[in-house]
Chains A and B, each alone.
Chain A
């Protein structure tokens, strides 16, 4: 909840920043020939370190990068590490691991001359390698005669993996020259996962929480990145 609120608040700043960026950019030179910047854009996710600070049960970071290969296409990748604690009504687990996402972004936005904003749709292949610890669990029974049983001997499951595809939808705005803010929503679909024996992956780093009755997952990112221009076209 804390996180959702934070996300909303940060969204309010985006139109303001975007307007500001447009004002700045519309007054640039009138004899532009080459104005599309090509280069490597590197950045990191803002929400994950922020959440690490606010949420004792979570820690994580993500770095991201993209490289423009044509007028509308970018090669994009994210690399991250997460640790999350999942507390359900009847069990507690902790998951930690790293992930990588590789794919491409398509910019659907027609920029005015000199602008570098983007409405991004993208596709990623995601891979995560992680460990999970089942810290405690309850034995579920329909019986009320006997007191319930909770088992608190931790069980560790190491060397787990998961593969997924991810559809990305977001907005990138150049707030200052070469400095970008981005918001993105991610819809994920699990392809395969290595599940522990007699248990399940409740959380997959990069994929986020899993669902028992669906292979889908969701996530969002809020990033800041800097473009290192290589050439103009």
Chain B
């Protein structure tokens, strides 16, 4: 009898080693990306794809492309979790023969940490979002508006770019 009990104790201890708490599972909503849609400036109700769009940013003096020569009417890009601003370069008509037209956009926000669970720890959400296009001699972006001042999920577009 006592042997059986000890065996039972051992088994129950051994099976208690690995749980799903240890890995942040893929379906868990973590830090949201910024969702941007592109619309027609002349007809603001309609979305308008950007031809050969390239989106890039500079990290430690290296240019990193998040979107490369893609024709699309919406994108999702990350915002920095360590700083209250992120700068991006949006290039229209960027292909092999054309260097395209580059517009610079600065995103400003306040960050807040929100607890998820043991494995994922915390995520960031962004509040008081603002987006500014730097004016140059030939902007392809006519206007940029913020639809959602708080970025806490990726269900809807936070920013609309009219071109």
Contact = CB atoms under 8 A, between A and B. Distances in A.
B153 to A, nearest CB: 13
A199 B5 contact: no
Interface in B7-37: 9-10, 12-14, 16, 19-22, 24, 30-31, 33
A140 B31 contact: yes
B9 A212 contact: no
A139 interface: yes
A140 B1 contact: no
B16 A218 contact: yes
B113 A151 contact: yes
Interface residues of B, number: 40
Q: Is the interface of B mostly helix, strand, loop or mixed?
A: mixed
Given A138-B122, A139-B31, A185-B12, A213 B81 contact: no
Contacts, number: 113
A145 B59 contact: yes
A142 B30 contact: yes
Contacts of A147: 59, 82
A-B interface, 7 closest residue pairs, ranked by CB to CB distance from nearest: A90-B121, A143-B78, A141-B31, A149-B82, A149-B81, A139-B81, A91-B121
26 contacts: A11-B6, A15-B3, A90-B120, A90-B122, A139-B113, A139-B123, A139-B124, A140-B30, A140-B123, A141-B124, A142-B31, A142-B33, A143-B33, A143-B78, A145-B66, A146-B80, A149-B81, A151-B122, A171-B5, A185-B12, A198-B113, A198-B115, A200-B115, A202-B118, A211-B19, A213-B21
Interface of B: 1-3, 5-6, 9-10, 12-14, 16, 19-22, 24, 30-31, 33, 57, 59, 64, 66, 78, 80-82, 86, 113-124
